[in-house]
Every structure is written in structure tokens, then in C-alpha cells.
Amino acid sequence: MLKGKKIILGVSGGIAAYKTVILARLLVKSGAEVQVIMTPNAKEFITPLTMSTITSKPVISDFFTANTGEWHSHVNLGLWADAMVVAPATASTIAKMAHGVADNMLITTYLSSKSPIFVAPAMDLDMMRHPTTVHNLELLKSYGNHVIEPTEGELASHLVGKGRMEEPENILKVLSDYFATTEDMAGRRVLITAGPTVENIDPVRFISNHSSGKMGYAIAEECANRGAEVTLVSGPVSLSTANERITVVPVTTAIEMHESVMARCEESDVVVLCAAVADYRAEQVCDKKMKRGSTNTLTIKLVENPDIAKAVGAKRHDGQILVGFALETDNEEEHARAKLEKKNLDMIVLNSLQDKGAGFGTDTNKVKILERNGAINAYECKSKKMVAKDIVDIVVNNYLKK
């Protein structure tokens, strides 16, 4: 369940940090990619070297590396993770999380994180039952964080009571169970187009667009993580995936993308058309580099590319779910709905270039999902990973489960 999952393991300064070494080992053995963040006090209990050796990744503790000035971006880390686990969470760290006291890398990352958060408290029994701690844990729960309750037993102080950090094996199980319950696309075949297409003019020049492919890849990861078998027909992008449930079919031109999609769409339960396909290509592709002419204008005759979404919509079969995208600059909803109807789709994901943080190249997106039945689901600006979750949630809850 944790294979390929990106986990931030936040360690704060309590004696239970020694158990977090085992937790890191268990996470790595389960196939997770683990990034450890330690508070300054955590480093008094266990060393960064222990954790970096176990996780094969340098531990992050400071906002920047002192000798090089390299900045560690808590924002990027927050967006990178599929889950963040704070273990042990001391009374102080819990209080800082509850009230946004962002004075170390663990807390800034927590505040920037868009992923589920798991908190495993560990402290002495009196600290644990102090009204402040009780209240702060309630606050964390009210923010949607998952608190992994500490157990009762002998504590480091030799007192007996509640405050022992849950055993690493059980924390691992909480995480595995969390990801297992979201296998709601098991047995489904999903076909996704992503990225731009590149249409050659000559061996050197081409027509393309700024699509990074990030949205399509995020949807592919989300579907695969929820149990689907995914085929990702991808235009040229600088992204890759290590997910075993995703088969990438690399293509360059719209014609190639069209062929790859048409060969596979029949067998697919869900088709997501996320690619920014060039609408036109050069009628003639010169086999030699075109030379500057004697006139100051140049005309290249363009011919229309196939509309892949429309072609899939035309031959859709019963029960198949089709999802399109629309990037608009004006009269957004009207244009998006017209595309949904013209291409015979079930839903269309609208993003507007007018919105800050939406569209090409960014790690974030702000979308509305328009459905065939007239429903409009509007969302805040969030990471493309979380947008992918929203899209797949609608596919699963409103279509596959019905």
C-alpha cells in the first residue's frame, strides 16, 4: 500500500525519537520514499546521520544549509508529500502545530502541507493530560489531522500512564490502512493523455505549447494509487513516473497521440483527455532546415489535427466515463460547457488563465468541474496533486459507484 508513496517524517525532540528510527526503516522497507525533517531538539536524541542513512536522503532540519546558503523550500516539500507523519510529536510541537508557531522547518512544512497529516504524540503522562495539550490535540483533529493516540505503560520517567508513542509497526499499519481504503479504482482501466504535442515544421523548428504535463501525470498517479491500471499517452515532457501501475506511451505529434488513444480507448473504463493537443500542424514538413527567404514574410500552411476528445466521444460505449479539460480566457463556463457537449464528455475540468496559480507549468491549479447534468463543482487553488484527487473523487463517487 505504501509502495511509491512520498512520506515526510517529522521528528521532534522526545526520547521516543529512538522508535522513529524503526518507523523510518519500516516505511522504507514498505517501498515508501521518506524525507525526514528533524527539529533542533530532535537532533539531541537521535542523529541526522542515522536517519539519512536509513532513508538514503539527507535530513532537513534548517531553513537553509549554512555553508552553501541553499534554501530548503518547505512549500515544495509540503506539495511533494502524499502524507506527513509527525512522530514523536512532543507537547511543544503539538502546540506549535495547533497555533501556527512556524519557528522551525517541521512546522513551516506542516503549515504548507496539502497532504493528510498523522500525529503520534509522545510525552510524560502529566503533560499528556494537561488541559493545554488536550485542547491542542482537539484543535489538530478539528483541522482534519489524524491523531494516533499514545498508549499507556511505563514512560521514560518510570511513571506509568498514557504517553508512550504508538509502536512503529502500528503507526505503519495506520498509514497502510489509510491508503488501502482509497483503492476505489481497483480493476478499472484508465487511459490518460498528457502534455503538449510537438508538430515539426522542419528538422529544427516546431509548433507546440507550454503544457508541462503535470496535471495529467498527477491524475495518472492518483488513479494508480487508487488501484487502477493506467495507460498514460504522453507528449514530450520532462516528467517520469516510477509507478508500476502506469504504462507510459510516449508520443510526439497529435497524429501519433490520436492513433495511440484510438487503439486503446475501447478497452478503457475511464478516459481523461488532459493533453494540450496542437490544433494545427504544418501541411508539409521540410526534410531540410528552412532557409531565410528574400521576402520579409513567411507563410506556412497549417492543416487541422484530429480532435482526439471528439473522436473518443463519438465512439464511446455504455458505462465509459469521459473527462475533458478546457483552458479558457473568457466566458469560461459557457465555452467549457459547449466543449463538453460537442465532444460528448461526462465532465470537463475548467481552468482559467485569468486565475492566479492556474494553468500551464505551475504546481498548482484552480479548477471548476462541470458535469453533463449541469452540476458545477468549484474548488480553491491547490496543488495539482490535490486537484487530481478532486477530479478522481468525482469520477468515482458520481459515476463509477452509480
Q: Which residues bind ligand C5P (CB under 6 A)?
A: 193, 254, 273-275, 277, 279, 305, 307-309, 324-326, 339, 343
The x, y and z cell numbers of residue 153, run together, are 505503560
Dist. CA 1–CA 357, nearest whole Å: 31
Dist. CA 52–CA 319, nearest whole Å: 48
Phi/psi at 184 (nearest 5 deg)? -85, 5
Secondary structure of 351-381 in the HEC alphabet? EECCCCCCCCCCCEECEEEEECCCCEEECCC
Active site residue 209: yes
Which residues, at least 6 apart from 191, have a Cβ–Cβ distance to it below 8 Å? 230, 231, 233, 261, 264, 265, 268, 270, 271, 272
Spatial contact of 112 and 69, defined as CB atoms under 8 Å apart: no
Dist. CA 296–CA 294, nearest whole Å: 7
Alpha helices in 226-315 (DSSP H): 254-264, 308-314
Alpha helices in 56-90 (DSSP H): 74-80
Instruction: Report which of 85, 107, 140 is spatially closest to residue 39, judged by C-alpha positions.
Output: 107
Dist. CA 17–CA 301, nearest whole Å: 66
**Beta carbon of residue 396, minimum distance to ligand C5P (angstroms, whole number):** 19
Dist. CA 203–CA 5, nearest whole Å: 40
Spatial contact of 109 and 10, defined as CB atoms under 8 Å apart: yes
**Beta carbon of residue 277, minimum distance to ligand C5P (angstroms, whole number):** 4
Spatial contact of 90 and 14, defined as CB atoms under 8 Å apart: yes
Q: Give whichever of 21 and 348 is closer to ligand C5P, judged by the CB atom.
A: 348
Q: Give whichever of 87 and 326 is closer to ligand C5P, judged by the CB atom.
A: 326
Q: Give whichever of 34 and 276 is closer to ligand C5P, judged by the CB atom.
A: 276
**Beta carbon of residue 242, minimum distance to ligand C5P (angstroms, whole number):** 25
**Beta carbon of residue 190, minimum distance to ligand C5P (angstroms, whole number):** 15
Q: Give whichever of 22 and 311 is closer to ligand C5P, judged by the CB atom.
A: 311
Q: Give whichever of 82 and 332 is closer to ligand C5P, judged by the CB atom.
A: 332
Q: Give whichever of 11 and 308 is closer to ligand C5P, judged by the CB atom.
A: 308
**Beta carbon of residue 368, minimum distance to ligand C5P (angstroms, whole number):** 14
Q: Exposed (0-12), middle (13-18) or buried (19+): which is 310, by Cβ within 10 Å? A: middle
- Among candidate residues 41, 200, 209, 377, the one labeled active-site is 209
Q: CA 392 → CA 104, 111, 322, distances in Å?
A: 34, 25, 12
**Beta carbon of residue 354, minimum distance to ligand C5P (angstroms, whole number):** 15
**Beta carbon of residue 278, minimum distance to ligand C5P (angstroms, whole number):** 7
Q: Give whichever of 108 and 253 is closer to ligand C5P, judged by the CB atom.
A: 253
Catalytic sites, residue numbers = 209
